[in-house]
């Protein structure tokens, strides 16, 4: 029987940082697509795809993004990783039942990715980096643990990307909260973003390795006054509310 949102939603947002929360959740839940499914951002992702790409999805959960990439013609290999062995096993079972070949599913920590450097043409994450922010404290001045972990994740992704590889981050993290991380001096990628969604806008960041312009190197981590969040609550899924609690 499919789990309802009430069966799996945590009582506090910080539970999202607890690996046992995810194992328990994935034991009950077959499919939950964080934020939006592929059809909502296909127009942004498809132009970045080509048949020969090797793709890494970080924090796949029980999303169907891996299969969507195959359907889009990606044939260079799709690897999905998650910290939760339960999520990984269930995704492997689902793919086997469907007879889907071409997606490798691996237990791995995004803070210590077990891949050779320059292994992937495209790395994608949807809602996974956001987990690191759930106990960040003041979003304008996140606590040092959050900063360390976000930088660890980004360094891992930068390392496993090929020299002209692309990192796509899908999030509701607004540019003034994300640029300080994406544009840290150690990264050679350019940073651009688009939005998608009706009412509430999700952000689709495209980071192209080796394409950083000199101007962005001088990006100062000076933050403007806090803007009003453009939230239309009816547009958000149940759990997006919980994820956003640190921005309220």
Ligand X SMILES: C[S@@+](CC[C@H](N)C(=O)[O-])C[C@H]1O[C@@H](n2cnc3c(N)ncnc32)[C@H](O)[C@@H]1O
Contacting positions for ligand X (CB under 6 A): 22, 33-34, 59-61, 63, 82-84, 87, 109-111, 126-128, 131
CB of 147 to ligand X, least distance (A): 15
Smallest separation (angstroms) from ligand X to the CB of 83: 4
Find out whether 183 and 205 touch, Cβ atoms under 8 Å.
Answer: no
Choose between 74 and 219: whose C-beta lies nearer to ligand X.
Answer: 74
Rg of the chain over Cα atoms, rounded to whole angstroms, equals 17
Output 49 or 211, the one with its CB closest to ligand X: 49
Residue 163 Cβ, how far from ligand X at the closest point, in Å? 24
CB contact at 8 A, 112 and 156: yes
| Minimum CB–partner distance for residue 23 and ligand X (Å) | 8
45 vs 110 by CB, closer to ligand X: 110
Q: Least separation, in Å, of the C-beta of 33 and ligand X?
A: 5
Between 53 and 124, CB nearer to ligand X: 124
Considering the complex, state which of residue 34 and residue 181 has its C-beta at the smaller distance from ligand X: 34
């Amino acid at each position: 029987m499919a789990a309802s949102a009430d069966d799996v939603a945590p009582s506090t947002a910080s539970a999202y940082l607890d690996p046992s929360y995810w194992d328990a959740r994935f034991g009950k839940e077959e499919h939950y697509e964080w934020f939006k499914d592929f059809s909502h951002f296909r127009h942004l992702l498809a132009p970045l795809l080509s048949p020969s790409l090797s793709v890494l999805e970080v924090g796949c959960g029980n999303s169907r993004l891996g299969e969507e990439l195959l359907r889009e013609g990606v044939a260079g290999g799709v690897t999905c990783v998650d910290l939760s062995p339960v999520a990984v096993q269930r995704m492997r079972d689902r793919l086997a039942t469907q007879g889907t070949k071409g997606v490798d599913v691996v237990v791995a920590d995004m803070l210590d990715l077990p891949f050779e450097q320059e292994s992937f043409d495209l790395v994608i994450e949807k809602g996974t980096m956001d987990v690191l922010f759930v106990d960040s404290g003041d979003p304008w001045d996140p606590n040092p643990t959050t900063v360390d972990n976000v930088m660890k994740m980004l360094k891992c992704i930068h390392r496993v990307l090929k020299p002209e590889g692309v990192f796509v981050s899908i999030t509701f993290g607004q540019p003034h909260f994300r640029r300080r991380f994406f544009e840290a001096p150690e990264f050679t990628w350019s940073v651009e973003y688009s939005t998608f969604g009706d009412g509430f806008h999700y952000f689709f960041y495209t980071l192209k390795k080796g394409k950083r312009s000199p101007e962005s190197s001088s990006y100062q981590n000076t933050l403007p006054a806090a803007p009003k969040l453009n939230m239309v609550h009816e547009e958000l899924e149940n759990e997006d509310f919980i994820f956003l609690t640190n921005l309220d």
